[in-house]
Amino acid sequence: MAADLNIMTLVVFGVLFLALGSGIWVAFSLLLVGLVGMELFSSLPAGPNMASSIWATVEKWEYVALPLFILMGEILFRSGISERLFKALVPWLYRLPGGLLLMNIVSCTLFAAVSGSSAATTATVGRITLAEFDKLGYDKRMAMGSLAGAGTLGFLIPPSLIMIVYAILAEVSIGKMFIAGIVPGLLLAGVYMAYIMYQGIRRPEIAPRMQETYTWGDRLRGLKDLAPTLLLILMVLGSIYAGYATPTEAAALGVFGALLFSVINRQMTWSILMECLKGAVKTNAMIMLIVLGAGYLSRVMGFLGIPAEITKFIVGLELSPYTLMILLGMVYVVLGCLLDGFSIVVMTLPIALPMVTAVGFSPIWFGIYLVLMVEVSQITPPVGFNLFVIQGLTREPIMQIARYALPFFALMLLTTAIITIFPEIVLFLPEYMVAK
């Protein structure tokens, strides 16, 4: 790369890391770096460009789905869904190796399909399962570790908040991204369950046998407690896949269904509704601030030619596609120790996506790869959100919880390697649905 471009790149990234290291909010750090880049290296006016960039970002209709899915998750968080899931699943899981530890995986998988949030999934399921595991004498390391790992499914199994942001920034279909996440999400859940069952066979003491017994009648009667969750999944995802609704319309359907479910369950009052609305506003404002800052920084880097030159430089190294993905994975693991998932996506996408597509990977596939890397960041200290959620539930030290989650960290990397070697796992369903 040319010497002047080297200087621009060093200055831009140097200011970025300095701003982040000084404790400035991520969104304002991104805006600051964009301003510095425009003022120092471009003759274009920085202020008007920031205004037009922010407007170009917020005017996209697809972003309306974001606060709606967040609101749906907030309502479900307070609707008693975790208690019903626990009651319905116990008769089906208690005799399997690993016993009710599998509850973390199955409950998180089901709740992820209606919440779109990793932190909400972890908190909702953990409020019930961790207390029950403690009473039953289950191994706390496996209980907390499996919850930390399974809670990340909230980002991978659709509808996913982070998939919405990725799809808009990468200019790919939100619906295709949702469809692409189904098989990898179930694959990761299956890998987690296989590991827990293996540990249950090898070390039966991690999951003491329950004294209660359940009949097939108990199992079938318990399905009524699963019905609202399954119906909500059908309303949201089924309407998208069948072509009856856009993701934004499906999100509105989901909010209606969640409200109806909470009213029927007698878990909704005016004060709870206000809490849900406030929580949704705060979460959406945090995400959109980051998106706005990243949108401006992306425009500035595009004006300066940094992403194109970095892509040309990396491609010129003639790395194999797998080597490139390994190096990117290492970068994402490091970033995951420092930043939240949304920041990782919006900051790296302008540079990473052109490189990945240049070596032949699909943008849809890369979206799932990136979501898996973001999931890894949810359980890496010191800023792993899931670790903080579990700490709030258990009062255990963060580093202790991170050690408990280490096997599931490794299983996430294994799943990422599998979809990299066999990208058809991600692409089969989107291509099949389009062809159909």
Asked if residue 408 has pLDDT above 90, the reply is: yes
Say what the pLDDT of residue 315 is. Answer: 67
Instruction: Output the six-digit token pair for 1.
Output: 């790369």
Say what the pLDDT of residue 1 is. Answer: 44
Say what the pLDDT of residue 338 is. Answer: 67
In contact, 288 and 316? CB cutoff 8 Å = no
In contact, 145 and 120? CB cutoff 8 Å = no
Lowest mean pLDDT among 290-299, 307-316, 340-349: 307-316
Q: What is the DSSP string of 102-132?
A: HHHHHHHHHHHHHH--HHHHHHHHHHHHHHH
With 0.85 as the threshold, say if the pTM is over it: no
Q: Which residues of 392-422 are buried (b: 16+ CB within 10 A; e: fewer)?
A: ebbeeeeeebbebbebbbebbeebbeebbee
For 89, phi then psi, to 5°, come to: -90, -20
Give Cα 331 to chain centroid, integer Å.
18
Residue 180 pLDDT level (bands cut at 50, 70, 90) = very high
Say what the pLDDT of residue 232 is. Answer: 85
Asked if residue 216 has pLDDT above 60, the reply is: yes
Looking at per-residue confidence, does 286 or 138 come out higher? 138
Q: How large is the average pLDDT for residues 300-320? A: 73
Q: How large is the average pLDDT for residues 88-107? A: 86
Residue 195 pLDDT level (bands cut at 50, 70, 90) = very high
Range of the domain at 115: 3-435
What Rg do the C-alpha atoms of the chain give, in angstroms?
22
Residue 73 pLDDT level (bands cut at 50, 70, 90) = confident
Average pLDDT, the chain: 83
Cα–Cα distance between 74 and 69 in angstroms, integer?
9
Looking at per-residue confidence, does 167 or 290 come out higher? 167
Looking at per-residue confidence, does 152 or 223 come out higher? 152
Number of separate domains in the chain: 1
Q: Which residues of 209-223 are buried (b: 16+ CB within 10 A; e: fewer)?
A: eeeeeeeeeeeeebe
Q: How large is the average pLDDT for residues 256-267? A: 84
* Range among 196-205, 301-310, 339-348 rated most confident: 196-205
- Other C-beta atoms within 10 Å of 143: how many? 26
* Range among 4-18, 50-64, 74-88, 183-197 rated most confident: 183-197
Residue 297 pLDDT level (bands cut at 50, 70, 90) = confident
Alpha carbon distance, N-terminus to C-terminus of the chain: 45
Say what the pLDDT of residue 393 is. Answer: 81
Nearest CA to 212 out of 91, 384, 110 is that of: 91
Say what the pLDDT of residue 193 is. Answer: 95
| Percentage of the chain lying above the pLDDT 90 cut | 19
Q: How large is the average pLDDT for residues 292-303? A: 77
Asked if residue 53 has pLDDT above 90, the reply is: no
Q: How large is the average pLDDT for residues 71-96? A: 79
Length of the chain: 436
Q: How large is the average pLDDT for residues 92-121? A: 84
| Percentage of the chain lying above the pLDDT 70 cut | 95
Say what the pLDDT of residue 188 is. Answer: 96
Instruction: Output the six-digit token pair for 412.
Output: 């996430």
In contact, 336 and 373? CB cutoff 8 Å = yes
In contact, 254 and 232? CB cutoff 8 Å = yes
Q: How large is the average pLDDT for residues 162-185? A: 90
Q: How large is the average pLDDT for residues 186-194? A: 95
Q: How large is the average pLDDT for residues 297-307? A: 74
Amino acid at 411: L
* 369-390 pLDDT per residue, tens: 999 988 888 888 766 778 888 8
Q: How large is the average pLDDT for residues 269-295? A: 84
* Range among 250-254, 350-354, 359-363, 416-420 rated most confident: 416-420
* 112-136 pLDDT per residue, tens: 887 777 877 888 788 888 888 888 8
Helix axes 46-58, 26-41, angle to 10 degrees: 140
339 Rama sector, left if φ>0, alpha if ψ -120 to 50, beta otherwise: beta
DSSP 63: G
Handedness of CA 216, 218, 224, 230 (dihedral sign): negative
- Other C-beta atoms within 10 Å of 236: how many? 28
